[in-house]
Structure 1
Amino acid sequence: MADSALLQRTELPRPNVSLADARFIFNEFYGFSGPIRELGSQQDRNFLIDTGTERLVLKVTRAEYPHHELEAQNLAMDHLRSLDIGLRIPEPIAALTGDYIPQIELDGERYWVRLLSYLDGQPLTRQKYLSPEIVAALGDVVARVASGLKDFRHIGLERELQWDLRRAGPVALHLLKSITDQKQRDRIAKAMIMAVKRIQPLASDLRIQAIHHDITDDNVVATPAASGRLTPDGVIDFGDVLYGWLVADLAVTCAALLHHADGDPFFILPAVKAFHQRFPLNEAELKALWPLIVARAGVLVASSEQQLAIDPDNDYVLGNVDHERTIFEVATSAPYPLMEAAILDAASVSIDAPEIEISHPLLPSLMAADFRLTDLTVTSPDLPRDSWADQEIDWKLLARAAVETGVASTRYGEFRLSYTKPLSPTPPATFALHIDVCLPGATEAFAPFDGTIVLDGHHLILSSHALSLHLDGIDCSLEDGASITAGDAIGKVAGAAGGVGGLRIQLCRDPDLVPPLFARPQQSAIWRRICPSPSRLLGIGVDAPAPESESLLERRHKSFAKPQKNYYADPPQIERGWKEHLFDVKGRAYLDMVNNVTILGHGHPRLSDAVGRQWAMLNTNSRFHYAAVAEFSDRLASLTPEGLDTVFLVNSGSEAVDLALRLAWAHSGHRNILSLLEAYHGWTVASDAVSTSLADNPRALETRPDWVHPVMSPNTYRGKHRGDGSTEAYVAAVAEKIAEIENAGGRLGGFIAESVYGNAGGIPLPPGYLREVYALVHERGGLCIADEVQVGYGRLGHHFWGFEEQGVVPDVITVAKGMGNGQPLGAVITRREIADSLEKEGYFFSSSGGSPVSCVVGMTVLDIMRDEGLQENARATGDHLKARLEALGQRFPLVGAVHGMGLYLGLEFVRDRETLEPASEETAAICDRLLDLGVIMQPTGDHLNVLKIKPPLCLSRESADFFVDMLEKVLSDGW
């Protein structure tokens, strides 16, 4: 039982000290004056003073706390400071008398006072989201402090403290007397009893030393990094330092992390791994860690409820009580076997599971050869289109597979697409920890091992000391608690003989645990240790193969050219899509907000059917005579302004730009080309030459050939001239460049520009800019090329072509990307006389650009766009999306501007709205965080500080709202 003095301390209110009292103490005892404000504390009073040259913290403690305990706290700080452990630690400051812990009297009450240096920075408590890197850094902070204190000794560390987890059980039970909610009191009591029960057998192997015992998100000071993320680098509040269990120091930190965990207890594992790497824990300590976290959670909740009962106006406690209740909910939500296994795994401690002993088959009347296995994974050919969304699809496919032999089974260990959840910020539980069998009704089942029957409605458990078999779908005549031996009959599969029955089978190594049927992907490796495969019971021994994403990425890096980058450092393996959704091999759904290539969306059945039909008939090159090339070319020409009547079909946007430049050279007879700075046009030699985006080529401005003449970027947001009134200045810059060319004896061949500044995120060009620039170019016999590869083809919603917004007609249009919905297809559309100019250089040929399949793809895309109103959807959904993004700018200073229109938008992040300093690192971190929340997004622009939003045009309003909601969550919670 806990010491009575200890229990009495738990009931003490904070010192009755006002701001005026604190001002008196600062002045009379330390000689300081300045603005003062109170800091939070549960049982002390803390005050911050700004002296003008430094900031200091005054701590006022009740006299009931012994002097030697406070001395131990001061000396522990001095000890760590002397070791230089790579962390900032407060420095105790003596009073004018030279005493570090003077005692004072106020209104008849005696208190101890101490003065400490203040650590600049911010605590992590109000930062709702903490990245895995920050969580790991916190674990490392605890290890540094614990390692630094392991040799520290002082009599003041031998203390009775309510937070000492060695006394958590009796302390919590004492505190529970103040809780009036019977249900909550019972929950806390039950949790504490279970935690203490698991700790007791391990206690003798838990090392004792000096520990801080309160390194929480409140007591770790962090410094913001350039990305906006916080770097923990200081520790404060040594009020709970004592001799205690070493692992308790880590348990306190992990418990504090749980209110940031969004319900996922595995959130703490980076901290565990980091602590163990710096200060290794023994096996008993690792096994005790989760029960200690639960115990800490119980004490926190009980203490707050008790403190509010005696001090209802304590703002510090009121501000933390919701966090502490969340900590308790998460801590008690996870089974002990799961967390023990996960913690041991994080520490790279391997625990060999005993071999499963099966003495008798479960269903001996069925032969392994009779079983037909279903495939419910992301790559399953039996889940076409959106059939995965059918809640009955698993059993439908199972029944279909059983038609031939009467027996079919799902596979243990597969990540089922049928359990995916589009528009979900958290990964759903998709990993099957069981198998379902479709088989003849009344099939008899037998015990595969000795055990006891446990009946829970229609759920039957055969339980032994090392293994439990969970069955659903058995008619059992045995009584609850009956003992049976291997080979004894358990019962029969529900259903009439000759009919169809269903049986669900699951194994679990913990007899006290009723496991879930599915696990979240991030927990699946641990759960499969607890719930081994039951396929051996049936003699089939065939489980779903594990995804090979890491080895595939290694193979990609080994054989795929390095300049061909992939999104993300640790990319999900995407193998299926539907509309605006993508699915990885673990069943995680992502909202695709970047894929302007798939303009219709992913997996469109009408397009795949059309492609299949054409592939089955003919696919060759455009030098053959067939209907599709004539029909598609005519269709494309009809979409453009009058006079643009001739079409070249090519393989890609880069090839289209390359060809457009050749047309300009051939028709004008001159090679000098004007292009815009910060633009991107492609990767062929010519298209790359007119591209000056530093994000795509950091050496772009140093390596342009002499025929390329970049002109000032008409960026109305961050360019030299800003706003709609900048047209004249930007046009003048073009005129100056033309004059330079002519003064050097050159002639102009053409001008190329995106009709909307795509690479910068869809910034509109200044009003009338293209009209005036086109006039300057035409006066000199040059051609004007509108690069519509990214911005055209209905994506802007309000216009089919981007140049329509400027009220001009170009000489040449280049288009690709969405026109093939992923098929290599691009086009150059121009006038007949311009196209004919190329013949003097010979004929032109593109292998698959005008093939029958490509042409059918192109026509089908246009048909679907028309029939499904995708341009209209781009306008309506895009306008809604833009309005919501602009609303974020009213709340978050990081949002500098929202560019673009329709479903081609750019959200630009800046650190300062006046200087427009790009928030490049923040943007990268935001994109990584969005991936965690189920959104595919990438940065763009010369400064990589723009979210270029260009999803499939089928994007629903619900999906648009999900994207903004997740972005708002990131901006609110942190990244």
Structure 2
Amino acid sequence: MLLATLIHRASLPCPHVGPDQAARLLEQYYGLAGTLQSLGSQQDLNYKVDSSRGRFVLKICRGDYAAVELQAQHAALNTLQGVRVPKVIKALNGEELLTVSLDGQTLHLRLLDYIDGQPLTHLPHLGRDVIAGFGDLCGRMSRALASFTHPGLDRTLQWDPRHALDLIIHLLGTLENLPHRTALEQVAAQVETHLRPLADRLPWQAVHMDITDDNVVWQRDAQRHWQVEGVIDFGDLVHTWRIADLSVTCAALLHHADGDPFAILPAIQACHAVTPLQHEELQALWPLIVARAAVLVLSSEQQQRLDPDNTYLLKNAEHEWEIFHVASSVPFELMEAAILGCVGHAPAPIASQGFAPLLPGLVGREFALIDLGVLSPHFEAGNWEEPGIDRRLLDEAAKVHGLAASRYGQYRLSRTRPDCAVEPDTFPLHVELHLPHGTVLEVPFAGTLHQDAEGLVSVQGVESSLRLWGVKTVLKPGALLVEGQVLGEVQAPLTVQLCRVDLTPPLFCTPSRAQAWEVLCPSPATLLGLACDAEPELDPEALLARRDASFARSQKHYYVDPPRIERGWRNHLIDMQGRSYLDMLNNVAVLGHGHPRMAAVAARQWSLLNTNSRFHYAAIAEFSERLLALAPDSMDRVFLVNSGTEANDLAIRLAWAYSGGRDMLSVLEAYHGWSVAADAVSTSIADNPQALSSRPDWVHPVTAPNTYRGAFRGQDSAPDYVRSVEHNLAKIAANKRQLAGFICEPVYGNAGGISLPPGYLQQVYGLVRAQGGVCIADEVQVGYGRMGHFFWGFEEQGVVPDIITMAKGMGNGQPLGAVITRREIAEALEAEGYFFSSSGGSPVSCRIGLAVLDVMEEEKLWENAQVVGGHFKARLEALIDRYPLVGAVHGSGFYLGLELVRDRHTLEPATEETTLLCDRLRELGVFMQPTGDYLNILKIKPPMVTSKRSVDFFVDMLSKVLDEHL
């Protein structure tokens, strides 16, 4: 009888009621007229109604449904608190539920108010906060319905997981030509095995049973974060297992998981925090999720055959199959361990004590435990990318020490994957030992012998399975083994893995799955008699707390929860779990990270001498000469300092000394440094929110010549912007004050590399010099070859400044800055005393500076900036036609800016979207940060070794995020 009822309910098609008919029903029974729009449904009809009295939802279902079930829904809606739900609108006769006849159909009519917002079904990706929001809502709904009762809850519903297996088995038997039939049959068997022992211990209550991406309504807040507005569609309300609600939610979330079932864990944590779940419920959760996935695809297949013209069904079918494939992609045991672990329930570990030694002849012998981790001293200059590097290191160690082994659970640097959107499988669930051939192995626990064609030899015990590679055994498969029996001999490097019976674990797993896999595949240290476990890493949260407790708060770090970065190579940074991040914002490391030449040069000079620049040594002369060779012919003097801030501060002092005045012109929205003088001429409110109100009276900001969003736009706007300069110069002259100079980035770096309007600097430099001032080109960010087509930014404007300041990439990360100018300007400072920098121009800094120039030339990095940078800009510009959010692409070479706007006419900055985009890019393996006064520009300034492959990866990931509808 139960199965017959399920089959009948599952096979009912939608009522046949067109929009015109629905409009007549609405007017006849509710006195409402308006515009109707179909919302789509599987077995019911839902119409959105826009009327003069407001917005509503007209719900039409078949008369086959018992009225008491619909009355239960109304009762729940009328009593729920703490969760926003639709209100029931009474008909003209005062009833909440109407039963009518139409064209021979018996129909139930209901009218509910409409909750503004939108479901998130269409979003390919949901962030962690949104996933947790679904779980939190689940917990709150469960708590709100905990004491709700109604006769209409005792119903037979196809979505009730208590009946899932019966329904799956029936549909498998009746649906012909079913896709993935074998996988569905296997899933059904696994669900039964895992769920049956738990079913009688699961608590019951009223549950919504459909808190999904279709039925939760969301709206964005001011920061563009999604917030829950309410829950709709109580059509599946039923009295069943409490955990069923969360299982339905988690199954729906798998559609947004990018193929990773672990993405649902934040929802489980959030639900558990509101409504603590029993251990048995947590154990049953994954089998219920998988069962739900199977019921979804089977019901959809059946419904499509009954109602082939239902576009709602067709559109959802692809999502439902995706849910099933993700749900069936991992072992049940793994997800149980992950679910239990994420809420602090300790999963039952497998037995690992009391084993006999696997290698009795080596008990007490000392092994060389080889460091293969991220910080290993064995790795340098990218050698970890060489195939087989780990095994070669173990081999070399074994030749020296006789015995060598890897560490269980030590994240392997060799398995990092540059330019990859998913985390690499760096966590070893095994130990590799290099031993003398012929070393004898003995059975550590009783079991059965298994072998396969891939060289795997395994001992299957009652609870545990020992998996071995590199073993020669004369025993036959299926042999019953006793503890202490000779198993075989080592014939190759020995790989040892311990795991639960009936599992086929990987040798490596991803960091996010490591905690769960460790439960199922614990360290084999006990049976090896070897302390081979990885040393515990510092807790990243505790380390960050230590930083925050001791490091001044004004010194910010990227990201709220930054990964710990301790290694880099070329244009990638690597965290402690071996994940490589594409570095798209590090304009300091022009040669890339970990460059062997830099390491060698620095080490060599440190071993010789490092002192202050008042001593006489060759490097300072050689480096100064090299810098002057790169500068305009008119310049013949160099000052060496430690940073761009110091360079700009010194440039201002030089302007003061040479001109005899103090007044400086600077450009709005610019940043020049943090010292008193450099900060005074900095006007970027992104770096200092008080910048515009805290300028000293000797600083005169002029209008930012921003050709994209400035007061005047386009390439012919130079005269308009020059008027601001003329106005300020006139004001200075009227007050009888001497102008000191004008400081400006010749390419607008802080705004993402925007070129100044043609002719702007020519006109401004002429006006400034006419009043006795000097012209300072701040090349700290944009100079030194980064722009590709020009070595210096001022070359684009066809001018020669009086003073050039530079830093950033000069030392590839070594503190190094410079000021280049003419003799008469340099010597003007002597009247005020000597200039001295203790470590500016030190021997180490100069040797590194020389090496940077050598490598840039030898590796043709300037040419790379032109060629790959040109490809980069072209790919970014192609995004403008695809995405309305992309407003413009600025800059050139490896100094680019992608400006995001909400409207291309008003240029409303997409500030919040830019923040979300950067956070999502980090999840996909890219480091990127916003810039500009509105923080709506991606400031793209990677190391100059960046390859075309990395560029394409970045743009592909950027497109992926934009496709996800921020």
Aligned positions of 1:460-479 closer than 5 A:
460-479=457-476
* Alignment counterpart, residue 512 of structure 2, candidates 492, 515, 522: 522
Residue 118, structure 1, aligned to residue 117, structure 2: no
Assess if the C-alpha contact under 8 Å between 2:353 and 2:526 holds in 1. Answer: no
Q: Which residue identity does 2:446 align to in structure 1?
A: D
Range with bigger deviation, 894-903 or 824-833: 894-903
| Whole-Å separation in 2 of the counterparts to 1:229 and 1:588 | 27
Range with bigger deviation, 801-810 or 358-367: 358-367
Assess if the C-alpha contact under 8 Å between 1:638 and 1:645 holds in 2. Answer: no
SS of residue in 2 equivalent to 1:701: coil
C-alpha displacement at 1:194, in angstroms? 1.0
Q: Which residue identity does 2:379 align to in structure 1?
A: L
Residue of structure 2 equivalent to 1:376: 372
Residue 769, structure 1, aligned to residue 760, structure 2: yes
| Whole-Å separation in 2 of the counterparts to 1:610 and 1:347 | 51
Residue 635, structure 1, aligned to residue 626, structure 2: yes
| Whole-Å separation in 1 of the counterparts to 2:406 and 2:772 | 70
SS of residue in 2 equivalent to 1:289: helix
Assess if the C-alpha contact under 8 Å between 2:355 and 2:526 holds in 1. Answer: no
Residue of structure 1 equivalent to 2:604: 613
SS of residue in 2 equivalent to 1:400: helix
Q: Which residue identity does 2:762 align to in structure 1?
A: R
| Whole-Å separation in 1 of the counterparts to 2:157 and 2:413 | 51
| Whole-Å separation in 2 of the counterparts to 1:596 and 1:254 | 42
Residue of structure 2 equivalent to 1:96: 92
Residue of structure 1 equivalent to 2:34: 34
Assess if the C-alpha contact under 8 Å between 1:178 and 1:305 holds in 2. Answer: no
Deviations 1:583-628 (A, max 9, x none): 1110101000000000111122233223233333332222222222
SS of residue in 2 equivalent to 1:69: helix
Structure 1 residues 704, 961: CA separation in 2 closer, same or farther (over 3 Å shift)?
same
Q: Which residue identity does 2:506 align to in structure 1?
A: P
Residue 825, structure 1, aligned to residue 816, structure 2: yes
Residue 487, structure 1, aligned to residue 484, structure 2: yes
Residue 579, structure 1, aligned to residue 575, structure 2: no
Residue 403, structure 1, aligned to residue 399, structure 2: yes
SS of residue in 2 equivalent to 1:469: strand
Residue of structure 2 equivalent to 1:693: 684
Residue of structure 2 equivalent to 1:134: 130
SS of residue in 2 equivalent to 1:843: coil
Residue 391, structure 1, aligned to residue 382, structure 2: no
Residue of structure 2 equivalent to 1:717: 708
SS of residue in 1 equivalent to 2:196: helix
Q: Which residue identity does 2:73 align to in structure 1?
A: Q
Residue of structure 1 equivalent to 2:3: 3
Assess if the C-alpha contact under 8 Å between 1:432 and 1:519 holds in 2. Answer: yes
Assess if the C-alpha contact under 8 Å between 1:178 and 1:306 holds in 2. Answer: no
Residue of structure 2 equivalent to 1:51: 51
Segments of 5+ residues of structure 1 without an aligned counterpart are 495-500
C-alpha displacement at 1:355, in angstroms? 5.6
Residue of structure 2 equivalent to 1:339: 335
Residue 541, structure 1, aligned to residue 524, structure 2: no
Deviations 1:42-63 (A, max 9, x none): 1112222211442222222111
Residue 456, structure 1, aligned to residue 446, structure 2: no
Deviations 1:651-709 (A, max 9, x none): 11111111111111111111111111111111122111111111111122232222222
SS of residue in 2 equivalent to 1:422: coil
Residue of structure 2 equivalent to 1:644: 635
SS of residue in 2 equivalent to 1:750: strand
Range with bigger deviation, 598-607 or 611-620: 611-620
Residue of structure 2 equivalent to 1:442: 438
* Alignment counterpart, residue 779 of structure 1, candidates 746, 751, 770: 770
SS of residue in 1 equivalent to 2:321: helix
Range with bigger deviation, 33-42 or 587-596: 33-42
C-alpha displacement at 1:348, in angstroms? 2.1
| Whole-Å separation in 2 of the counterparts to 1:193 and 1:171 | 13
Deviations 1:746-768 (A, max 9, x none): 11011101111111111111221
Residue 561, structure 1, aligned to residue 552, structure 2: yes
| Whole-Å separation in 2 of the counterparts to 1:437 and 1:390 | 20
Assess if the C-alpha contact under 8 Å between 2:351 and 2:464 holds in 1. Answer: no
Residue 670, structure 1, aligned to residue 661, structure 2: yes
C-alpha displacement at 1:723, in angstroms? 2.2
Aligned positions of 1:892-971 closer than 5 A:
892-971=883-962
| Whole-Å separation in 1 of the counterparts to 2:531 and 2:120 | 49
| Whole-Å separation in 2 of the counterparts to 1:867 and 1:106 | 83
Residue of structure 2 equivalent to 1:287: 283
Assess if the C-alpha contact under 8 Å between 2:751 and 2:897 holds in 1. Answer: yes
Pairwise CA RMSD of aligned residues? 1.6
C-alpha displacement at 1:368, in angstroms? 4.5
Assess if the C-alpha contact under 8 Å between 2:369 and 2:406 holds in 1. Answer: yes
Assess if the C-alpha contact under 8 Å between 1:130 and 1:974 holds in 2. Answer: no
Q: Which residue identity does 1:464 align to in structure 2?
A: G
Residue of structure 2 equivalent to 1:60: 60
Range with bigger deviation, 899-908 or 26-35: 26-35
Q: Which residue identity does 1:139 align to in structure 2?
A: G
Range with bigger deviation, 143-152 or 453-462: 453-462
Assess if the C-alpha contact under 8 Å between 2:758 and 2:797 holds in 1. Answer: yes
Instruction: Tell me which stretches of 4 or more aligned residues in structure 1 moved more than 6 Å.
Output: none
SS of residue in 1 equivalent to 2:399: coil
Residue of structure 2 equivalent to 1:77: 77
SS of residue in 2 equivalent to 1:724: coil
Q: Which residue identity does 1:79 align to in structure 2?
A: T
C-alpha displacement at 1:183, in angstroms? 6.4
SS of residue in 2 equivalent to 1:345: helix
Residue of structure 1 equivalent to 2:422: 426
Assess if the C-alpha contact under 8 Å between 1:227 and 1:925 holds in 2. Answer: no
Range with bigger deviation, 254-263 or 719-728: 719-728
Q: Percent identity?
A: 55
Assess if the C-alpha contact under 8 Å between 1:449 and 1:487 holds in 2. Answer: yes
Range with bigger deviation, 459-468 or 520-529: 459-468
| Whole-Å separation in 2 of the counterparts to 1:179 and 1:960 | 48
Assess if the C-alpha contact under 8 Å between 1:715 and 1:763 holds in 2. Answer: yes
C-alpha displacement at 1:570, in angstroms? 0.7
| Whole-Å separation in 1 of the counterparts to 2:173 and 2:674 | 73
| Whole-Å separation in 2 of the counterparts to 1:750 and 1:675 | 9
Residue 845, structure 1, aligned to residue 859, structure 2: no
Aligned positions of 1:723-734 closer than 5 A:
723-734=714-725
Residue of structure 1 equivalent to 2:199: 203
| Whole-Å separation in 1 of the counterparts to 2:645 and 2:401 | 54
C-alpha displacement at 1:73, in angstroms? 1.6
Residue of structure 1 equivalent to 2:296: 300
C-alpha displacement at 1:225, in angstroms? 2.0
C-alpha displacement at 1:275, in angstroms? 0.8
| Whole-Å separation in 2 of the counterparts to 1:37 and 1:359 | 68
C-alpha displacement at 1:308, in angstroms? 1.3
C-alpha displacement at 1:202, in angstroms? 1.0
So what's the TM-score if we normalise by structure 2?
0.98
C-alpha displacement at 1:141, in angstroms? 1.0
Residue 798, structure 1, aligned to residue 789, structure 2: yes
Range with bigger deviation, 179-188 or 621-630: 179-188
| Whole-Å separation in 1 of the counterparts to 2:124 and 2:232 | 20
Q: Which residue identity does 2:703 align to in structure 1?
A: M
Segments of 5+ residues of structure 2 without an aligned counterpart are none
Q: Which residue identity does 2:768 align to in structure 1?
A: V
C-alpha displacement at 1:159, in angstroms? 0.7
Assess if the C-alpha contact under 8 Å between 2:3 and 2:166 holds in 1. Answer: no
C-alpha displacement at 1:128, in angstroms? 1.1
Structure 1 residues 882, 52: CA separation in 2 closer, same or farther (over 3 Å shift)?
farther
| Whole-Å separation in 2 of the counterparts to 1:119 and 1:453 | 62
C-alpha displacement at 1:957, in angstroms? 1.2
Q: Which residue identity does 1:476 align to in structure 2?
A: T
Q: Which residue identity does 2:38 align to in structure 1?
A: E
Assess if the C-alpha contact under 8 Å between 1:199 and 1:288 holds in 2. Answer: yes
